[in-house]
Amino acid sequence: MYKVYGIPNCNTVKKALNHLNDSGIEYEFVNFKKTPPTKTQIQSWKKSFGDWPVNKKGPTYRKIKEEFEAASAPEKKEILTQTTSAIKRPIVEKDGEVMVFGYDQEKYAEMF
């Protein structure tokens, strides 16, 4: 079973969920606003992503950029658990392993 992490009113998340629905893929949606990620999840996503899993193009990140970039690793985890809109989304996992960050129609077509 897939787990999709994100924010339901995010257009990118909507595209990803529509793709999964249209493909008949079963998944569990985890809303960052109701269930923020843990610091352990943030660390795991950082490892999978190769960097902090932030949406550097988004308005939320631009608001916290200076604070985030000046923060230590533990502080960055705290910032992301408190400011979930700054996290790149959606994050799709299967059996605890990250499959993909964000939405790319071609990549989703290959995977699902």
Q: Using CA atoms, how far apart are residues 106 and 75, in angstroms rounded to an integer?
A: 35
Q: Using CA atoms, how far apart are residues 60 and 4, in angstroms rounded to an integer?
A: 20
Instruction: Report whether 45 contacts 76 (CB < 8 A).
Output: no
Kindly report the pTM of this predicted structure: 0.91
For the chain, give every domain's residue range. 2-111
Q: Using CA atoms, how far apart are residues 56 and 38, in angstroms rounded to an integer?
A: 20
Cα Rg, the chain, nearest whole Å: 14
Query: Can you name the CATH fold of 2-111?
Result: Glutaredoxin (3.40.30)
Please report, in tens digits, the pLDDT of each residue of the chain (112 residues total): 899 999 999 999 999 999 999 999 999 999 999 999 999 999 999 999 999 999 999 999 999 999 999 999 999 999 999 999 999 999 999 998 999 999 999 989 888 8
Q: Using CA atoms, how far apart are residues 47 and 76, in angstroms rounded to an integer?
A: 14
Strand order in the sheet with 2-6: 27-31, 2-6, 91-94, 97-101
